[in-house]
Amino acid sequence: MLQKIVCRVSFVALLLVPGVAWAEAEVIDGIAAVVNGDVITFSQVQEVAAPEEQSLKQQYTGQELIDKIKETRLAVLNDLINRQLILQEFKKKEYQLPDYVVEEQVQEIIKDEFGGDRQAFVRTLQAQGYSLNKFRDKEKEKITVQVMRQNKLKDDNFTPSPEAVTAYYNANKQEFATPAQVKLRMIVLNSDPLVTDSAKTTKQMADDIRDKATHGGDFSTLAKTYSMDGTAENGGDWGWVDEKTLNQDLTKTAFALKKGEVSPVVQIGDSFYLLYCEDRKDPAITALNDVRDNIAKKLTQVEKQKATQRWLDGLREKAYIKVY
C-alpha cells in the first residue's frame, strides 16, 4: 500500500490542469502554501472547497466550470492563509481559550444537529473520518479565529454619521426602487392538439368563463372550478408579479389591466389564459426614513470588513508566505 506522501507540487499548476482528481490526496498530498513555517496542504483546501465545488458542478460545465472551481480553490486557499495568520497571532499574544468554551460549543452542536444523541454524533464523525479529539481541535480553531476577529473590532466605533447614510441613499436610489406590480389571478385552460376542434371548444369555454367573471362571477371560485394549472386550488392566485415574472404576452396583458378588470382570452400555443387584476402598485422609491436603519447596518458592516482586511494585510506584511 502506498504511504501518504507530502510533496511540493505547484498549487497554481494544479488549478490549471483540467481533470485533476483531488480525491487522490488520500494517497499523494501536496503543499499548497507555507505560512511562517506552518503548512497548508492540498487536502485541507479540498476539504473546505468540496461543498462549493459540488454546487458548481450542478450549475456549470466545460471551461466555465473549470474557471469557477479555480476561483473557489484560490479563495479557499486565501481564507486558510488568513486563518493560519490569525491562529499564529493568537499564539504569539499568548492568549488562552478555556477548554469549557470548546466543550460548550460541541454540546450545542450535539443538541441542535443531533437532537442530543451523542452516539449519533460520534458515528457521524467516524463516517467522515474524524475522531472526537480532531473535531474538538477544529472547533477550537474556529472559535479562536472568531474571537480574534471580534476582539480586534470591539474598541472601534463603526456607527456611520447621518450624513453618510443620506449620501449613500442619494447615490443608490435604484437599490430602494420598487417596480410596478400587479396582484394577479389567472385561469389556464389547455386544449389537446391531438383532438379535432379541441382548441375551438377550449376557446369557447374560456369565453364562457370570462362572461361569467365579467357579470358578477367570483374569479377565485371560477379558477378553482376550471383552471388547469398548479394555482387552481388557490383560486388562481399568483400574488404580486412584476414585469419579469411572466412571459412577454402575459406581461403585456396583465399590466394593461385596471384594478378589478378581467382580460380578454389570451392564446399561447395550445393554452388559453384569463387574467384578473386584483390590485396594482405603481413604481416607487422607498423613503429614506424607512431604510435608514438598514443602510446604517450595511455601512457599519462594510467598515468592519475594511478594518478586518487592514488588520489581515498588516499580518501578511510581517509574515513569510509562499504559495506553491
Domain ranges of the chain: 5-94, 99-155, 156-177+288-324, 180-282
* The predicted structure's pLDDT at residue 25: 38
The distance of Cα 269 from the centroid of its chain, to the nearest Å, equals 35
Q: Which amino acid is at 255?
A: F
Report the distance separating Cα 92 and Cα 106, nearest Å.
26
- What pTM did the predictor assign? 0.64
* The predicted structure's pLDDT at residue 26: 41
The distance of Cα 30 from the centroid of its chain, to the nearest Å, equals 31
Contact 251, 233 (CB under 8 A): no
The tens-digit pLDDT sequence of the chain (324 residues) is: 333 333 344 444 445 444 444 444 343 479 999 999 999 999 999 999 999 999 999 999 999 999 999 999 999 999 999 999 999 999 999 999 999 999 999 999 999 999 999 999 999 999 988 899 999 999 999 999 999 999 988 877 889 999 999 999 999 999 999 999 999 999 999 999 999 999 999 999 999 999 999 999 999 999 999 999 999 999 999 999 999 999 999 999 999 999 999 999 999 999 999 999 999 999 999 999 999 999 999 999 999 999 999 999 999 999 999 998
* The predicted structure's pLDDT at residue 6: 38
Question: Quick one: DSSP state of residue 7?
Answer: E
Report the distance separating Cα 1 and Cα 251, nearest Å.
65
* The predicted structure's pLDDT at residue 258: 96
* The predicted structure's pLDDT at residue 22: 41
Fold of 180-282: Chitinase A; domain 3 (3.10.50)
Q: Do the bridges between strand 266-268 and strand 237-241 make them parallel or antiparallel, or are there none, so unpaired?
A: unpaired
Report the distance separating Cα 45 and Cα 52, nearest Å.
12
Q: Give Cα separations from 178 to 185, 246, 294 (angstroms).
A: 21, 17, 16
* The predicted structure's pLDDT at residue 314: 96
